[in-house]
Amino acid sequence: MLNLSQNGCSVWVTSSTELALTPTFVALGKFDGVHLGHQRVIQPILPPTRTEEDAGTRGDGDTGKVHEKLSASERLPVSASSQTPHVYSTVVTFDPHPQEFFTGQPRTWLTPLDEKIHALRSLGVEQLVLLPFGKELSALTPEEFVQKILVEQLQAARISVGQDFCFGSNRTGTAKDLQLLAAKYGIPVTIVPLETCGAHESTDSSEASAVSSQETRISTSLIRQLLQSGDIEQANQLLGRAYTLIGTVVKGQQLGRTIGFPTANLEIPKDKFLPRQGVYAVRVFAVGETLDTPENSYLGVMNIGHRPTVNGMYQSVEVHLFDWSGDLYGKKLMVQLERFLRPEQKFSSLEALKTQIQQDCAVARAFFSAGC
């Protein structure tokens, strides 16, 4: 399928290598989260932007910083002739996740497919290939995987993987093995060192930090731990962007409006990983109606939990927008989590709950006013 962005750029998405656009520059991996470590693996397959060409290795923002870390030999060659066939920057991953296939247990994702496409598109990736992971693919030897998938089907002209990448039957192939096997076909392989983060302090004083204070490898599992502990700011730093929930507004019990705080009840995809239950300061966008820029966003607070004060029977995600009124039913909202404010708790009365929500809104407003 073809996924078009608002500015006309697109990502070609396919689960069939026969439908893949070729030849390709390939980044191989699982890429759940598309965090800073993943972005560094993806960077070598991207053509340099015009700004980077003009400024040498200099770049702006997180993507530019990642690009700076790569040596000249790791960059893509710039075509010397306009007659050179276009090579498609391609992320290759697996569907379902290998762990889900072998265990039979469904998995939640930091970035379900739609979010992953959005994140890859923002990096400049042109194609996403979802290799169907089953008995046939898992039985391929490292040699067969390189020959059949990368060489014959994807026509890879360059490959990039993380230092810890494993592939082939029983994960017997390493990144070094891939480099040696691909060399037989004249395909260069960039092995990207693991991205690490330094010491940090948890933003939740009542909880121990989810990770050691020593330098730690950036990984999807680490980010999940941080989200589970409520350390949203550190998780966002490792992601290189705010952690996001996307859902459609559906009718709830409409209790919020009875205490002066109407909320939008979001229906979140079942395969989306939810962070710690509690209250967050959030920035909200209406998907398809506004651009993803601060000037076109709403500020507010969000609660994830079971609403114990009103004897809630199921987990819900509810957002209250500041200084806004109107009908949001049926609209799709993108909610960026900026700061964890407090855990969910049960109050003695609706009046006590109302007082606490007023305090939550004041804290969130102060947070955003400080320019965070």
Of 6-15, 207-216, 220-229, which range is least confident? Answer: 207-216
Residue with the bigger pLDDT between 68 and 145: it is 145
Same domain, 55 and 77: yes
CATH number of the domain where residue 334 is located = 2.40.30.30
Domain residues for the domain of 184 are 2-192
Predicted confidence at residue 215, as pLDDT, reads: 62
pLDDT of residue 317: 94
| Assigned token pair, 195 | 């991205």
- Asked whether residue 186 falls in the same domain as residue 233, the answer is no
* Distance between CA atoms of residues 141 and 129, nearest Å: 20
Query: Comparing C-alpha atoms, which of 184, 241, 175 is closest to residue 27?
Result: 175
Can you give the pLDDT at residue 364?
96
- The structure's pTM equals 0.80
* pLDDT, mean of residues 169-192: 96
Domain count, the chain: 3
86 with 57, same domain?
Answer: yes
Q: What pLDDT, in 10s, does the model give residues 17-32?
A: 999 999 999 999 999 9
Q: What is the pLDDT of residue 259?
A: 57
Q: Is residue 197 part of a domain?
A: no
Residue 198 lies in a domain: no
Within this chain, do residues 163 and 219 fall inside the same structural domain, yes or no? Answer: no
* Model confidence pLDDT, tens digit, residues 301-360: 999 998 665 566 678 899 999 988 777 888 999 999 999 999 988 877 888 888 999 999
Same domain, 142 and 233: no
Computed over every residue of the chain, the mean pLDDT equals 82
Q: Is 137 within a domain?
A: yes
Residue range 53-107, pLDDT digits in tens? 444 443 333 433 343 334 434 444 444 445 678 999 999 999 877 777 777 788 8
Note the pLDDT of residue 353.
Answer: 86
Residue 247's nearest CA partner among 296, 291, 302, 299 is: 302
The pLDDT score that the predictor gives to residue 234 is 95
Output the CA–CA distances (angstroms, integers) from residue 219 to 189, 195, 201, 210, 224, in the order listed.
Answer: 22, 8, 18, 13, 9
Q: How far is CA 33 from the centre of its chain?
A: 3
Would the pLDDT of 33 be above 80?
yes
CATH number, position 103? 3.40.50.620
β-partners of residue 94 are 131
- Indicate the helix (H) or strand (E) that contains 357: helix 350-369
- State the pLDDT confidence band at 134, using cuts at 50, 70 and 90: confident
Does residue 33 lie in a domain region?
A: yes
Peptide bond into 96 cis (omega under 30): yes
> Which is nearest to 301 in space by CA: 332, 342, 331?
342
221 and 334 belong to one structural domain: no
